[in-house]
Amino acid sequence: MAAVTQAASSEPTRIGLDKPIYTISVAAEILAVHPRTLMMYEHLALVIPRRTPTNRRRYSQRDLITLQAIQRLTKAHGLNLQAARHVIRLLQTLDRHRIPRPDFVADVDIAHVRI
């Protein structure tokens, strides 16, 4: 039994995609946006960060992945935020039904996106 415990403890610790670890300022820095932009995305329900007991926002890795996909669609493809949300949902439907995507959105990674 000691061997099992030692083997389990030697594995690297993995942080789940949904663990809320990033403050709004860190998330904004990673995404190269102003914190107010993240508040606007929250207001539009594109990403809803978790809150600490003191009501501070905490973003997960999945939140950042979702926001990066939105950024890709808005910056590289010229979509507005509502259109980006719609395209992500359509891509999720295509992927779920194993239908090939159009080439012009092949660069949008939505594997871990939650909208």
Mean pLDDT, rounded, for 90-114: 92
Q: Which residues are CB-contacts of 104 (< 8 A; sequence separation ≥ 6)?
A: 77
How far apart, in whole angstroms, are the C-alpha atoms of residue 114 and residue 47?
A: 8
Average pLDDT over residues 53-59: 97
Over residues 14-39, the mean pLDDT reads: 94
16 token code pair: 């789940």
* Long-range contacts formed by 75-78: CB under 8 A, 24+ apart: 76/107, 77/104, 77/105, 77/108
Pick among 3.90.950.10, 3.30.460.80, 1.10.1660.10, 1.10.1040.50: CATH of 17-105: 1.10.1660.10
> Are the C-beta atoms of residues 65 and 28 closer than 8 Å to each other?
no
The pTM is what? 0.81
Domain chopping of the chain, boundaries:
17-105
